[in-house]
A and B are shown apart, each in its own frame.
Chain A
Amino acid sequence: MIAHVGPIDSSAPVRIQIECTSAHAVAFALWHRPPGTDAWTKISEGRTGDGAGETYEATIQTQPHAQVYYWVAVSNPAHPHAAYHARLTLTQRDTEIPHGAIDLRGTTNAAGNDSVEQWLDFV
């Protein structure tokens, strides 16, 4: 299921927050594709321990029909087979965009790892 986020206002930047609410280390990457193009541009990446804190943020200037591709990985080798919860929140002018909260839920494997990658369309 592809998330359709918006409608967005192309005059204001979109802020993307990534937060893990379970006790897992996180790594992520975000790409952006403007409308009418084929090329993806990496806009942000981060990981636990990079000094950015526990909530990661990226800001892009974008418009309807643009896309964001996300990869989020979680790990907790001390607690395999554990449920995890991470959330992507997209806001404009400090207000959540309609359908702009994307929950990533699942259960890690026997080594305590899992990853999610998907894209979303702005409308």
Chain B
Amino acid sequence: MRAWMFVVAMLVAAAAPLAAQDDDTTQIDEDTASIDDIDGDSADLVRRAAASVVASYAVPDMPAASFLGTTPATITRPATARDFLIGLASGVDEHGDARQGFALEASPAAIVPGFGVSLEHYRAPGVNPRYLFANLLISLGAARAAGDSAPTVLAYGVRLTLFDRGDPMRDPAFLEALGDSIARCRPRMPIPGIPRADTPTSLDPLLRDLLAERHDRDVRCMDSHTRKLARRYARAHWNASSVFVAYAGGETLDRGSFSRRRHAGDRVWATGAVRLGASAQTMLYADWTHDRGDAAPAGFDALSYGARVNLGSEAVNGFLELLGQSRFTTPLGVPGHATAWSAGLELRAAESLWISAGLGERFRRTATPDVVAVLASVRWGISLRSWLSPLE
């Protein structure tokens, strides 16, 4: 209740200066548009792009898919080196060309024999190369733009966690609770009907079904317990310090052929968070894009960045952020640099449902939050997730 009153008070206080930044309420006379207006519109585009790029202050889970701008329907995640090779082979069709729609993600620590990282090694304090290796993820993907003659783009990426104080798998108290949680799902007895060893044994269909049924029941039980545990941990560590980096590159394959390829570009992401006491956090984001385009004049480089301060708790947050984008090798008359700011409040109304209110670029467009309502010039956003919640 107090949180709601706080939100309403903030909105009333903010209503007066809102018009100063909200361009939507300003009528532009096209006949009198000047060079300054054109520059302003271009800068507005850059600001919007910055707000769109800096959507979550997180590096992508699968950089190759982000490079392609796709969400793969199916991702192959090999558990062994053999599965990895089979997965790679599935990305090539019978003519030796790249198969579009292919997506693969793998952890080298899991697939390279002898390089597994146990929990004990993962938890070792200090500079820990095994921790870095265990958190290294590689990804591959291929997609084709609309149209039969469009080339296929093959993307490759890596994602690395350099540092994460919010990683529950390094917290002994969490691990004890996790071990206890999954142990609660332990079966009381083996499945019935197992033939004795001194009789001819085989895994008949009935036993196979019983094992599958038991497996599903046990995993559902574990999911229920561990999700609650992980959610509680994420909320308690919402402002933990961390550093993540990711890279993705791509090759344009004419008609899917590896022999007719051209480098499509590169993209690098980096995010950092610094815990400030018990109830605040600073977040930093940088995203560099090098796009070679279809031809030389269409290529560009862009750096998007954001800095944000969050103040509050896992359920109610006030934030202030500065977003920016610098574009290099832009045509004459197009601004190469623009910044935007936002400030506001986020309130967790229910599980995975957030109410946002505030001022600035974030609240000018309907891209984020998912739904925006305007009430007395104040923009309210209803979002399915917070920009602050890494695990939700």
Contact = CB atoms under 8 A, between A and B. Distances in A.
Interface of A: 1-2, 19-27, 29, 31, 33, 35-36, 38, 40, 45, 47-50, 54, 65-67, 69, 71, 73-79, 81-85, 105-107, 109, 111-119, 121-123
28 contacts: A2-B202, A19-B118, A22-B118, A23-B134, A23-B169, A25-B179, A35-B196, A45-B183, A48-B176, A48-B179, A49-B175, A54-B120, A66-B197, A73-B185, A75-B181, A75-B182, A77-B168, A78-B168, A78-B230, A81-B105, A83-B106, A84-B79, A111-B226, A111-B230, A117-B218, A118-B211, A121-B201, A122-B197
A75 B176 CA distance: 12
Interface residues of B, number: 57
B167 A29 contact: no
A108 to B, nearest CB: 9
B33 interface: no
Interface hub of A35, A111, A114, A122 (most chain B Cβ within 10 A): A111
Given A27-B186, A77-B229, A84-B110, A49 B178 contact: yes
A67 B197 contact: yes
Given A40-B189, A106-B79, A111 B222 contact: yes
B107 A73 contact: no
A75 B222 contact: yes
B197 A115 contact: no
Nearest to A24: B119
A66 B198 CA distance: 8
B79 A75 contact: no
A121 to B, nearest CB: 4
B126 interface: no
A22 to B, nearest CB: 5
A2 B201 contact: yes
Contacts of B169: 23, 25, 76, 78-79
B183 A47 contact: yes
B218 A82 contact: no
Contacts of B215: 115-117
B214 A117 contact: yes
A105 B79 CA distance: 7
Contacts of A20: 118-119
B183 A23 contact: no
A29 B191 CA distance: 13
Contacts, number: 168
B111 interface: yes
A111 B116 contact: no
Given A66-B197, A117-B211, A85 B172 contact: no
B177 interface: yes
B109 interface: yes
Interface hub of A2, A23, A83 (most chain B Cβ within 10 A): A23
B160 to A, nearest CB: 13
Contacts of A54: 118-120
Interface string B224-264: 00110110000000000000000000000000000000000
B268 to A, nearest CB: 23
Interface in B266-305: none
Nearest to A105: B79
Contacts of B167: 78
A31 B190 contact: yes
Given A65-B198, A84-B79, A31 B189 contact: yes
B5 interface: no
Contacts of B185: 27, 73, 115
B179 A49 contact: yes
Given A23-B118, A23-B169, A48-B176, A36 B196 contact: yes
9 pairs of A and B residues whose beta carbons are closest in the complex = A49-B176, A83-B110, A48-B179, A21-B116, A77-B230, A47-B179, A121-B197, A83-B79, A49-B179
Nearest to A45: B186
B194 interface: yes
A119 B194 contact: yes
A70 B15 CA distance: 65
B229 A71 contact: no
Contacts of A40: 189-190
A20 B134 CA distance: 14
Contacts of A78: 167-169, 230, 391
Contacts of A121: 197, 201
A65 B196 contact: yes
Contacts of A19: 118
Contact of B180 (A49, A113, A117): A49
A76 B221 CA distance: 15
